[in-house]
Amino acid sequence: MNYGHFDDHNREYVITQPDTPLPWINYLGCQAYFGIISNTAGGYSFYRDARLRRITRYRYNNAPGDFGGRYIYVRDDDSGEFWSPSWQPTQAKLEDYFCRHGLGYTIIGSRSNGIEARTRYFVPLDENLEIWQVTVTNHRQRVANLSVFSAIEFCLWDAQDDSTNFQRNFSIGEVEIEGGVIYHKTEYRERRNHFSFFACSEELTGFDTQREAFLGPYRGWGNPAVVESGKSRNSEAHGWAPVGSHHVRIPLNPGESRQVLFLLGYQENPRQEKFDPPDSLIINKKTTKPIIARYLAPAMADTAFERLRLYWDELLGLCQVETPDVHTNRMVNIWNAYQCMATFNMSRSASFYESGIGRGLGFRDSNQDLLGFVHMVPGRARERILDLAATQLPTGGAYHQYQPLTKRGNNDIGSGFNDDPHWLILGVSAYLKETGDWTLLDELVPYDNAPGSEKPLYEHLERSFRYTLDRLGPHGLPLIGRADWNDCLNLNCFSDTPGQSFQTTTNKDGKVAESVFIAGLFVLAGRELARIACHRGLAAESSCYLAEVLKMETTIREHGWDGEWFLRAYDDFGRKVGSKENAEGKIFIETQGFCSLAGVGLKDGLPARALESVRRLLATEHGIVLQQPAYSKYYLELGEISSYPPGYKENAGIFCHNNPWVMIGETRVGNGDAAHDYYSRINPSAREPISDIHRCEPYVYAQMIAGRDAPTHGEAKNSWLTGTAAWNYHAVTQWILGVRTDYEGLRIEPVIPKNWPGFRASRKFRGVCYHIEVQRTGPGNVVSLEVDGAPIQGNLVPLPPAGTKTVTVKATLR
């Protein structure tokens, strides 16, 4: 069953029923001011850091999960009836409800008793505020005397503290109301120099800022006393829970429409200029008032919205494809790229599955996110790489996470995830391939942010590589440390105490357990590093890296191959993990995918055999599961992986992030049918007709789909913030469609399904627009290229002379 449909022309997903199986969300903002918004207007906003600068409140694990949001109430002042045009929170009956989630905006609207109300929510580019454009239309034959109320609940900034420290927080809330604008300024009197504002374009009939006054005792957001009575209390919050609510009256003639604008923004003042007058505690609003005035001017909101639209036109225009498959087109051209922006901005911090108060930005996560983002805003990718590298430790290891506001490594989780350093090499290589900006490598970057420790970024990459060589185990394979990509394979943890963190508890000295996955990663990253070194003219170093890579490949062939597939690891007893010798967890996807994509043992046909085993043992109609057979009980020596019930998450769930590794592996052995088939099984758009099973949003990837051992096989969870976004984008654009960035230029090497007659793509690369047309003349993957009408050898399109604007590439596959 569908809960809506794609509107590809407008690049929107249109939800037509408010009670979707789960809240289906969108993100507002793509630079510094962010919001999450669900199809019923639930969600919250924050500035840069979802934990430390939370603007509006969210209550965790609520039912429904998106409760609390950017609410509007419309009241018919003649009858006293009131409703929420976004259905929540009143849940009054609506006609023609719709929610259009678009690129950086959401429009929610409906009709009730002949009154139509729609709200467009968005964050203008380069501003730290969100606009709600509410349009109310009277379709009745008579005059309608209406009231509109806005409602938000402020968060007292640190979202973690806000939801726990009530003995203090109930006494510190402060607001100011001036000229119809509600300012939230809790803790501004002391060490904060930031505040938020909530403004309205119309003259106010009243306002409220004290939650209890607005709602009334023993009432909730579904029936606030103020809305029910039609009378604001003009309450001023002193402690308790500051909220923001405006009340405006809008009498509408038959057929008349009116717009009411609301602005919710974040603002900082220089420490010395916080107060006005300086010896008072009143917020200095000198810089804020002009911003408010500017955006409350009616035409400005439309102009800002148009700018946002053009921005996304431009970003998406960088890579557009026209294939025979509508789901491929839709995901590549619109939603997958859009999701890559969200994962770049949020890493794994804030969604309805990531609380925003837990993790900051993950080192491995953010590096991988670059794969799907770097072509969009390379400048921001560059900055991210430098921030990440600055959290690297002198050993070459890395803090597993860092806080986006402070850009400092997170000590609570620390380091010791032995795969982490290699992702930096891959992030950097993706950037170099996209931009050709080799100056990046000369940037001076500190270790652990310590002043004086700055070294060229290139040296960070070397240390990443050496980190593994300094930590080899008994078989010559990399020691796993706390975990590798699979955060739940905790082979040195041996935790038997409830509540201990699997990620940080380490009971073993870590000298035995080895990871075949890191070995595969080392091979891939090492090859890139060798090419990078070569480009820097360091031929000897380059050969040295290659020699280590070859050695590791040999080690994998000797100690990491199980006969029909790649082993996963060795545990602390030196026993195999992911082997036919095991009763459970005989075969894991990660090493099949990653070793295949890295081309380990390609000459001996190992990837083809490993992939054949994947097909036989791991593939399901809903995607490829992480391992089989699922662990049926908790294994002390394996860690968190066996803590999950079978079929969920890392214990044999379909962990979508690693499915594209298998897809890329399939392209490397020339199997375009299999690659695209796997791609389609987890493609959210292709799964839209089974929304009742899938349950998460049909326009973005989820981290996990329940595996076949789970009673809910096919059900997705943890949508939006997942490495799945970047990896699928990378797999489909660069390997299946084969429009692949490389240091020397763009390669065209498609490995597409046999029954595709071809496809077209346009790709902007280093300032040049490549128009690519691929035509199949035979069933294979052998490619011949014509560039601007002239045949060339090989699959690398040479970089055109400076000043060239477009290049036409004709590729023939036979």
Chain residues binding ligand NOJ by CB under 6 A are 348, 362, 364-365, 485-488, 650
Indicate the residue among 252 and 488 with the shorter CB distance to ligand BGC.
488
CA distance 620 to 263: 47
Q: How far is CA 143 from CA 94, 115, 135, 232, 250, in A?
A: 20, 11, 16, 23, 10
Q: Is 197 helix (H, G, I), strand (E, B) or coil?
A: strand
Give the residue, chosen from 138, 323, 503, 741, that forms a contact with ligand BGC under the rule CB under 6 A: 503
CA distance 322 to 760: 5
Indicate the residue among 230 and 362 with the shorter CB distance to ligand BGC.
362
Indicate the residue among 102 and 362 with the shorter CB distance to ligand NOJ.
362
> Min. distance of Cβ 591 from ligand BGC in angstroms?
18
Contact string 105-144 vs ligand BGC (x = CB under 6 A): ----------------------------------------
Write out the H or E segment, with its range, that includes residue 673: helix 672-682
> Min. distance of Cβ 513 from ligand NOJ in angstroms?
16
Q: Does 419 bind ligand BGC (CB under 6 A)?
A: no
C-alpha R_g of the chain: 28
> Min. distance of Cβ 64 from ligand BGC in angstroms?
24
Contact by Cβ (8 Å): 152, 215: no
CA distance 295 to 33: 16
What is the DSSP secondary-structure string of 769-784?
A: EEEEEEEESSSS--EE
- 433, interface contact from ligand BGC, ligand NOJ, none, CB < 5-8 Å by kind: none
- 365, interface contact from ligand NOJ, ligand BGC, none, CB < 5-8 Å by kind: ligand NOJ
Interface with ligand BGC (CB under 6 A), residue total 6
What is the bridge-based pairing of β-strands 806-813 and 768-776? parallel
Long-range contacts of 305-314 (CB under 8 A, 24+ apart): 305/105, 305/120, 305/122, 305/124, 305/131, 305/133, 307/124, 307/125, 308/103, 308/104, 308/105, 308/122, 308/123, 308/124, 308/125, 309/103, 311/104, 311/125, 312/11, 312/103, 312/104, 312/338
> Min. distance of Cβ 488 from ligand BGC in angstroms?
5
Indicate the residue among 131 and 398 with the shorter CB distance to ligand NOJ.
398
- 176, interface contact from ligand BGC, ligand NOJ, none, CB < 5-8 Å by kind: none
Indicate the residue among 570 and 661 with the shorter CB distance to ligand NOJ.
661
Binding to ligand BGC in span 610-669, by CB under 6 A:
640, 649-650
Burial classification of residue 377, based on how many CB atoms lie within 10 Å of its CB (0-12 exposed, 13-18 middle, 19 or more buried)? middle
- HEC readout, 430-484: HHHHHHCCHHHHHCEECCCCCCCCCEEHHHHHHHHHHHHHCCECCCCCEECECCC
Structure tokens at 445: 């970057």
- 485, interface contact from ligand BGC, ligand NOJ, none, CB < 5-8 Å by kind: ligand NOJ
Indicate the residue among 127 and 650 with the shorter CB distance to ligand BGC.
650
CA distance 404 to 345: 10
Indicate the residue among 45 and 503 with the shorter CB distance to ligand BGC.
503
Indicate the residue among 348 and 433 with the shorter CB distance to ligand NOJ.
348
- 67, interface contact from ligand NOJ, ligand BGC, none, CB < 5-8 Å by kind: none
Binding to ligand BGC in span 255-294, by CB under 6 A:
none
Task: Name residue 252's beta-bridge partners.
Answer: 144
Contact by Cβ (8 Å): 735, 667: yes
> Min. distance of Cβ 286 from ligand NOJ in angstroms?
43
> Min. distance of Cβ 136 from ligand NOJ in angstroms?
43
- 590, interface contact from ligand NOJ, ligand BGC, none, CB < 5-8 Å by kind: none
Residue 310 makes CB contacts below 8 A (sequence gap 6+) with: none
> Min. distance of Cβ 721 from ligand NOJ in angstroms?
8
- 362, interface contact from ligand NOJ, ligand BGC, none, CB < 5-8 Å by kind: ligand NOJ
Contact string 460-489 vs ligand BGC (x = CB under 6 A): ---------------------------xx-
- 811, interface contact from ligand BGC, ligand NOJ, none, CB < 5-8 Å by kind: none
> Min. distance of Cβ 482 from ligand BGC in angstroms?
10
Active site residue 487: yes
Q: State the helix-helix crossing angle for 363-373 and 378-390, rounded to 10 degrees.
A: 160
CA nearest to 136, candidates 124, 153, 152, 149:
149
- 503, interface contact from ligand NOJ, ligand BGC, none, CB < 5-8 Å by kind: ligand BGC
- Determine which one of 208, 369, 419, 487 is catalytic: 487
Residue 296 CA neighbour count, 13 Å, CB half: 20
Provide φ and ψ at 742, rounded to 5°: -145, 165
Residue nearest to ligand NOJ (CB): 487
CA distance 766 to 764: 7
Binding to ligand BGC in span 775-794, by CB under 6 A:
none
> Min. distance of Cβ 512 from ligand BGC in angstroms?
23
Binding residues (CB under 6 A) for ligand BGC: these are 487-488, 503, 640, 649-650
Residues serving a catalytic function are 487
